[in-house]
């Protein structure tokens, strides 16, 4: 029997439309991905995408690793491998995680095609239609796309400058329980959050783990940026104090290069078994070649020194962004991250970051609207600014162009609303300087 889809208005040009699963209806292009085509134009300063500055990675480090792999392990590198990942690399991943306080067994590590793939596998294992994922508000845009594709509901829990608010988490859990909802896991990016840039304090990490434990809720800790700190390290990972209730996701995309597409999940033993099966069902095995190249890199290069180089690159760019914001938009508020890639900026309440984006692109600057980071369409008063990829000079140019757009929008509103604010000085006073609006 043919499934009846929703009523159609006009003609659908896809002859297979009625054959798709219900789950396929949840697949949507993220607002970040939709920006790439425009933001990649050379005349546009893109403050939108979170692309690592891979040019800071000396080519000879990678080339030497590739050459040694092909000379010494070529037949293995070009062959199928284990669905769990190369054993030596899994041992080396333990050394990486130890920098954030994690003690683990290599047998509980599953290598994936980037941590994004691990996130998809976890969602596949746990989410049924109608289940609830608890998540910070705002949250990582593509995680929201994945949760929606598995027909889950996302419940955003407010944040402030210290990260997820424990009392708000308690209140949301109580309300969802009263409504009879099934909560499968809490998804969190505790260190140098994407998009907010804030870091969850150690005290809150412990409190949130206790809340999750007492309510039998799994914690999915996503940590791509944890080693990219500036002044001081982030607190140890949540997985460092909770083995059975946390799945930890890591990646080499930010500390080495995203093109290798190598990430991992550290999971409780029983979950690890199912992750391996899901990994094999999805990709059979992650790339042996890229795993062996990264393993060779970790064995022969000063990878800790290279991460420190990345820290310096990103800190310089962050400082350029904050300095430019202070010069050109002194009345607005924004977060001041101690690591990672992102600043979360709050606009005057009458502005809409999504509606304003086409005018920004016309002025040759791009950003990501705050709406991309909420499942419910919230975030119109916010935008994410990425400082990781543009040069410091381009960042300053981009922020100056952005300020022109914002002032132009306010002038336009003044003209039609009769609010009487005309000059730049008046506009700055009108902005005020409230605390950063993370919600």
Instruction: Domain ranges for the chain, please list them.
Output: 25-50+306-431, 59-300
Task: Look at residue 253 in the predicted model and tell me its pLDDT.
Answer: 96
The whole-number average pLDDT for the span 393-407 is 97
Residues 6+ apart with CB under 8 A from 114: 251, 253, 258, 261, 262, 263
Q: Encode pLDDT of 221-238 as tens digits.
A: 999 999 999 999 999 999
21 confidence band (pLDDT: 50, 70, 90)? confident
Residue 187 has pLDDT above 90, yes or no: yes
pLDDT classification of 416: cutoffs 50, 70, 90: confident
* CA gap 237, 202 in Å, rounded: 9
* Cβ atoms of 296 and 69 closer than 8 Å: yes
The C-alpha atoms of residue 386 and residue 321 are separated, in whole angstroms, by 9
User: CB–CB of 63/278 below 8 Å?
Assistant: no
Does residue 356 contact residue 371 with C-beta atoms inside 8 Å? Answer: no
Integer Cα distance of 288 and 320 in angstroms: 39
Count of beta carbons in the 10 Å neighbourhood of residue 40: 12
pLDDT over 60 at 424, yes or no: no
What is the mean predicted confidence (pLDDT) over 141-157? 96
Residue 335 above 90 pLDDT? yes
285 pLDDT band, cuts 50/70/90, is very high
**Stretch among 49-58, 207-216, 407-416 having the lowest mean pLDDT:** 407-416
Query: What is the C-alpha radius of gyration for the chain, rounded to an integer number of angstroms?
Result: 23
Q: Among 290, 287, 334, 337, which Cα is nearest to 311's?
A: 337
Question: Could you tell me if 44 and 239 are in contact, meaning their C-beta atoms sit under 8 angstroms apart?
Answer: no
pLDDT (0 to 100) of residue 110:
98
Q: Residue 420: pLDDT above 70?
A: no
Give the chain's largest Cα–Cα span. 73
Fold topology of 25-50+306-431: 3.90.1150
Q: What is the DSSP letter of 245?
A: S
In the predicted model, what is the mean pLDDT of residues 156-164? Answer: 97
pLDDT grade, residue 290 (50/70/90)?
very high
Flag whether pLDDT at 35 surpasses 70.
no
Mean pLDDT for 333-343 is 97
Cα separation values, 90 from 50, 108, 204, Å: 26, 9, 30
What's the average model confidence in pLDDT over 111-117?
A: 95
Question: Is 249 strand, coil or helix?
Answer: strand
Residue 195, preceding peptide bond in cis (omega within 30° of 0): yes
Tell me how far apart the alpha carbons of residues 197 and 191 are, in angstroms, rounded to a whole number: 8
% the chain with pLDDT above 70: 88
The token pair at 308 is: 């420190």
- Residue 19 confidence (pLDDT): 79
151 or 25: whose pLDDT is higher? Answer: 151
- Domain 59-300 fold is 3.40.640
Q: If we measure between CA atoms, which residue out of 205, 216, 247, 217 comes closest to residue 119?
A: 247
- Give, rounded to a whole angstrom, the gap between the first and last alpha carbons of the chain: 46
Task: Give the pLDDT of residue 15.
Answer: 84
List the beta strands (DSSP E) in 238-369.
246-251, 263-266, 333-334, 342-346, 365-366, 368-369
């Amino acid at each position: 029997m043919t499934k009846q889809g929703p009523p159609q208005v006009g003609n659908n040009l896809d002859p297979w439309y009625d054959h798709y699963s219900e789950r396929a209806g949840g697949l949507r292009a993220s607002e970040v991905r939709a920006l790439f085509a425009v933001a990649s134009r050379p005349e546009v300063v893109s403050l939108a995408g979170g692309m690592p500055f891979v040019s800071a990675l000396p080519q000879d480090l990678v080339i030497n690793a590739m050459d040694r792999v092909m000379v010494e392990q070529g037949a293995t590198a070009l062959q199928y491998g284990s669905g769990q990942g190369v054993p030596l690399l899994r041992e080396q991943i333990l050394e990486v995680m130890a920098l954030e306080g994690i003690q683990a067994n290599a047998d509980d590590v599953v290598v994936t095609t980037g941590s994004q793939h691990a996130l998809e596998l976890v969602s596949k294992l746990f989410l049924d239609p109608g289940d609830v994922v608890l998540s910070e508000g705002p949250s990582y845009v593509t995680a929201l796309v994945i949760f929606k594709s598995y027909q889950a509901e996302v419940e955003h829990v407010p944040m402030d400058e210290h990260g997820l608010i424990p009392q708000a988490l308690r209140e949301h859990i109580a309300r969802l329980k009263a409504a009879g909802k099934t909560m499968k896991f809490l998804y969190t990016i505790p260190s140098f959050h994407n998009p907010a840039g804030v870091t969850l304090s150690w005290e809150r990490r412990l409190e949130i783990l206790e809340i999750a434990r007492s309510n039998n809720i799994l914690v999915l800790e996503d940590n791509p940026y944890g080693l990219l700190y500036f002044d001081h390290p982030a607190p140890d990972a949540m997985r460092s104090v909770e083995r059975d209730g946390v799945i930890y996701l890591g990646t080499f995309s930010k500390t080495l290069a995203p093109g290798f597409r190598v990430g991992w999940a550290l999971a409780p033993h029983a979950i690890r078994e199912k992750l391996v099966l899901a990994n094999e069902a999805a990709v059979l095995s992650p790339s042996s070649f890229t795993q062996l190249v990264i393993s060779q890199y970790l064995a022969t290069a000063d990878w800790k020194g290279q991460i420190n180089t990345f820290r310096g690159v990103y800190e310089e760019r962050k400082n350029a962004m904050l300095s430019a914001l202070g010069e050109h938009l002194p009345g607005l508020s924004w977060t001041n991250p101690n690591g990672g890639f992102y600043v979360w900026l709050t606009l005057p309440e009458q502005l809409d970051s999504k509606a304003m984006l086409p005018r920004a692109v016309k002025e040759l600057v791009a950003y990501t609207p705050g709406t991309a980071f909420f499942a419910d369409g919230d975030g119109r008063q916010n935008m994410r600014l990425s400082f990781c990829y543009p040069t410091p000079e381009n960042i300053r140019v981009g922020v100056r162009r952005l300020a022109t757009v914002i002032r132009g929008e306010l002038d336009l509103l003044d003209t039609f609303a009769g609010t009487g604010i005309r000059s730049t000085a008046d506009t700055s006073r009108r902005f005020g300087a409230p605390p950063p609006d993370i919600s």
